[in-house]
Amino acid sequence: FPSVVAMASTSVAAAPCARGHSHHVYARRRRRRHRHVASSSSSVRYVEAFLDAPTLAMARREYARDIVEKKRLRREKASLATGRACAAIAVTSQTYAALSSGAVLEKLRALTGDATLVAGDFPMEARSYGAGAAMDWHSDVALYEPAQWEVIYTLENTSDSRTEWMVDDGGGGVAWASTTPGSALAVRANGPSHRVVASTRGERVIIKSLYVSTVRVKTEAFADALDTAPWRR
């Protein structure tokens, strides 16, 4: 896969702070030069042009027709995210079928290194980040055992937002990407802390989909996540 070259900070970072900077857990500030890395984390994978052009175009059409035009987006309230809206993707949609297809699964297995990966049964979600929308530092809760991979497919991005994550190579750096349309960002639950930095303009539209090992069990967190989803209200 063609991977993006992300920017990683060589300073120790473990807590949120101003854009482009980080600080030690004991608040000791370190400032060093940034370095470019091609592979930023064993539990985070980012690749551009993951979705082919026809699949991306189809997903955009369905999002506009079935979610935006029908006003199905719901603002999230009890969430780390601020200013974000979301809606469930119908299991009967072409988008759901495409992102669960053998072709996509084969690419995801190669990307993550998990040869048994299949689509999970937690609903896929469309999410919209407008200007000012953000999500604070967090690590995704494991809804399955073994922990799921949460994959973010970007449909549109006219914003200046970026996604940042801790690099788990022992160096304490922070990597980031401004996700492009058609890209895939895969993050392992219970993995590195990550966040979405607020944009000052535009909109970023994504689809979040969970993928799991063929043999797995649900954790207690699964039912709670399903019950508290904004689109259930």
Instruction: Return the CATH number at 59.
Output: 2.60.120.620
- Domain containing 195 equals 6-232
Q: What's residue 67's pLDDT?
A: 98
> Contact at 8 Å (CB) between 118 and 108?
no
Pairwise CA distance, residues 157 & 22, whole Å: 25
Do 159 and 204 form a contact (C-beta atoms < 8 A)?
Answer: yes
Predicted local confidence at residue 41, as pLDDT: 64
Return all residues near 124 (Cβ < 8 A) that are at least 6 apart: 88, 89, 95, 96, 99, 207, 208, 209, 210
Q: What is the CA radius of gyration of the chain?
A: 17
Number of domains making up the chain? 1
Whether the model pTM is above 0.85: no
Residue 130 in domain = yes
* Domain assignment of residue 1, yes or no: no
Residue 98 counted as domain residue: yes
DSSP string, the chain: --B--EEEE-S---S--STT----TT-------EEEES---SSEEEETT-S-HHHHHHHHHHIIIIIITTT--EE--SSSEEEEEEEEPPTTSHHHHHHTSHHHHHHHHHHHS-TTEEE-SSPPEEEEEEEEEEEEEE-PPPSEESPPEEEEEEEEE-S--EEEEE-TTTT--EEEE-PPTT-EEEEETTS--EEEEPPSSS-EEEEEEEEEESS-EE-THHHHHHHT-GGG-
pLDDT of residue 196: 97
Give the Å distances, CA to CA, from 58 to 53, 54, 107.
Answer: 9, 6, 19
As averages over each run of 10 residues, the pLDDT of the chain (233 residues) reads 40 31 26 34 91 99 98 86 94 98 98 96 97 96 97 98 88 91 98 96 98 97 90 69
Q: Is residue 127 part of a domain?
A: yes
Give the pLDDT of residue 73.
Answer: 96
Task: Establish if 44 belongs to a structural domain.
Answer: yes
Residue in the structure block whose two tokens are 């043999």: 215
pLDDT of residue 233: 60
Report whether 163 contacts 194 (CB < 8 A): yes
Check residue 121 and give its pLDDT.
94
